[in-house]
Structure 1
């Protein structure tokens, strides 16, 4: 993904740190953007180490697996031999102002970090980035169904800050298939998750694969039931970054501890462009068919997907920050949207898997993912797995999936080496036992190397 670097003007700033109490709305807003930059602590850029591989070998395949795992996921060394503890960093920044947090994020990651701009209050993030005096990048997801007012805001923001927003669009073929099969407004009948996945989540995944970190406008008070535990900074639990694999992307949330009213005081004080829909009663703004104004006293998320239960009011972009009840992971509703859907991916039943296990001399090698459709890590690798299936089509390797949650989970644990979702198995043509993919790198190139060395 080719992404141009945009830059902001330099601004001198001084004063006291942000305080959330004991001041009027206007002075509070001024304090938000007030921080001494001369006291910034230097944080050098580091690469992040993946978890060490736990290679599972079986008799004659031992050397093959060891060799494959070495080529796929070499351990990444930290600069200076240190590993960044982002949980500890989040605690240190708990009382920091959004400006200080933004400054540290941009200093640490340079042009390998970008602001996710949705066209609503996220303009505050761009203003904070400008105030740091550092270069910054901005990207946005154009779903194709945004309000005209949102597009006009995009244009105003570009002109105000002298930047070019890096737009990400949904795959035209996927949108075409969804609309042809289900119509333009299927989400009113079967839930918004499928449409959001095509128009928002997959384009976001592509954008993040070109970055090492991203900055969002998430706040704890946006949705107290699901976002109440958002950290200032974290290793992204769902999406992968430039280096690939779990832990390869860092997520910054500078506004996590700021109340929405304070954000708006800041925007008014700094006199920045805002979405014209806000003046019409819109608070949280998404796609046009799925957003409406809220009444006085209603929470801002009431205006999003209003026809659904309150617990479903998330699109999937911040899946890793959604608070779940204890044990919810194993009790997800069976109606959750299916994944790994492709003509090149075979859906195996338990009987099909058992037959595959019995074959000692297979005509073709088989690559099988053991998955659960509600698992965010399975969802995160969906695009790369489908692309891999397309590359392997007609090349002597069948690509398949087996849903291994629910009543199949014990069978998968005992017979298929399931430890966690997703688990990827290769059934070679000649080897009687499946070889478990040992790495957390689930990009196309890593999986292809594994298959080519062992099939």
Structure 2
């Protein structure tokens, strides 16, 4: 574990050597907790619950690991003061990641743990080390991680002298899912069910033994879901040790840090990183659901690439999904009572034809078109669509007068089901080419959305 339960020695230093850090009495045997006597309680300078394990083995030579669902009840009860975390988030808005980390560890001590995925959030562990305070780290082993990620876990443990507390999915639930739906059902019906079994439920069990947790969420990390992540918040989804709404606090120390600055920090501090990063992986999850991204693509395009941008959360941070991201239109935009939306349309150009539903239906019916068409199926709120807007507009300019029509069709909301069934829509954006003498459109297969790649596609089929 990140904090040894059988010793008072903390990571990178002794708890007893610092007057600013509290002394914690725990039983010498894992899972056996001794209540503090009254004299000790009265002499303790600050509030503290008895240390509770995150359901992981304390030493490598132990052969028996406690059941994942076993949570030790606190031996000492106490009244938790209510704090305004919205106010605290505003106060820390301009604070450094190190300052926020220090505040979190100081406030919650052994009742808080860092969630480590095996990606660039290793920066959190380095920040925790720099505070000089003891800290705990846990990770979700889904059973489907890349071999490189498992090797990275081992490297991190040795580098920092810690023991990561692993949480595993329930074997019976995994077995039922695989037997009934196969190993790769998520490619057909979405990743949420598999993530719920392999990640969300194990996380819920882990968090029930804590009062707070630390994540590596950043505002620039995921289109449509993390742009408003605060540095600290009451967790909107999960429950903590005391149970009930508001019983768990969520800290996001790097919320305001750009991805490039995280990497500058890792390089400056010579922090070990997952070898998958050198292969083009940025956001790293389970092996079947993670792939490298191409230059210019957003990092989350490497996760669940067959799904919409707004769905790129596994459930661990479901609270990021606003209600307007899940409205009936399914477009991720804020819809007002009069039906208008705050998201402006994209691909606006005199060289791009805006197709209506009847228009694209007619295009589908034509077997002998007078001219070929290239059409992008898009959603205005989609960051990936927005990212390729310049390339597509430039493509339209290059093809002006060439005999190839360039068009767009807004395929979200009420049109999404039709687009999925009739237009091969998988995720946004989807690009189709309607040849001159063919009834069926050809789907653009590449993730390269620069103008040269799009032009090569058109020229190969025109």
Q: TM bucket by the smaller chain?
A: 0.5 to 0.7
Where in structure 2 are the equivalents of 1:40-439 lying within 5 Å? 45=47, 78=79, 82-325=81-324, 328=326
Higher relative contact order (Cα pairs below 8 Å, separated by 6+ residues) = 1
Match of 1:184, SS state, is coil
Q: Aligned partners of 2:223, 2:188: CA distance in 1, in Å?
A: 26
1:45-97 Cα deviation digits (max 9, x unpaired): 589xxxxxxxxxxxxxxxxxxxxxxxxxxxx9745xx5211110000000000
Q: Is residue 8 of structure 1 aligned with residue 11 of structure 2?
A: yes
Identify if the C-alpha distance between structure 1 residues 196 and 4 changes in structure 2 by more than 3 Å, giving closer, same or farther: farther
Q: Which has the higher helix share?
A: 1
Give the drift of 1:224: 3.6
Q: Aligned partners of 2:316, 2:122: CA distance in 1, in Å?
A: 18
Maintained 8 Å contact 1:225/1:323: no
Q: Which aligned segments of 4 or more residues in structure 1 are displaced greater than 6 angstroms? A: 329-333
Aligned to 1:439: none
Larger radius of gyration: 2
Identify if the C-alpha distance between structure 1 residues 2 and 107 changes in structure 2 by more than 3 Å, giving closer, same or farther: closer
Match of 1:89, SS state, is helix
Q: CA RMSD in A?
A: 2.5
Identify if the C-alpha distance between structure 1 residues 7 and 323 changes in structure 2 by more than 3 Å, giving closer, same or farther: farther
Maintained 8 Å contact 1:226/1:321: yes
Maintained 8 Å contact 1:10/1:131: no
Equivalenced residue count is 271
Q: Aligned partners of 2:180, 2:3: CA distance in 1, in Å?
A: 33
Aligned to 2:372: none
Q: Aligned partners of 1:123, 1:77: CA distance in 2, in Å?
A: 33
Q: Aligned partners of 2:189, 2:269: CA distance in 1, in Å?
A: 42
Q: Aligned partners of 1:246, 1:239: CA distance in 2, in Å?
A: 8
Maintained 8 Å contact 2:2/2:11: no
Give the drift of 1:329: 6.2
Length-normalised TM-score, structure 2: 0.56
Identify if the C-alpha distance between structure 1 residues 187 and 128 changes in structure 2 by more than 3 Å, giving closer, same or farther: same
Identify if the C-alpha distance between structure 1 residues 108 and 329 changes in structure 2 by more than 3 Å, giving closer, same or farther: farther
Q: Aligned partners of 2:323, 2:48: CA distance in 1, in Å?
A: 32
Match of 2:220, SS state, is helix
Give the drift of 1:323: 3.4
> Structure 2: which 5+ residue stretches go unaligned?
15-44, 50-76, 332-462
Q: Aligned partners of 1:267, 1:304: CA distance in 2, in Å?
A: 22
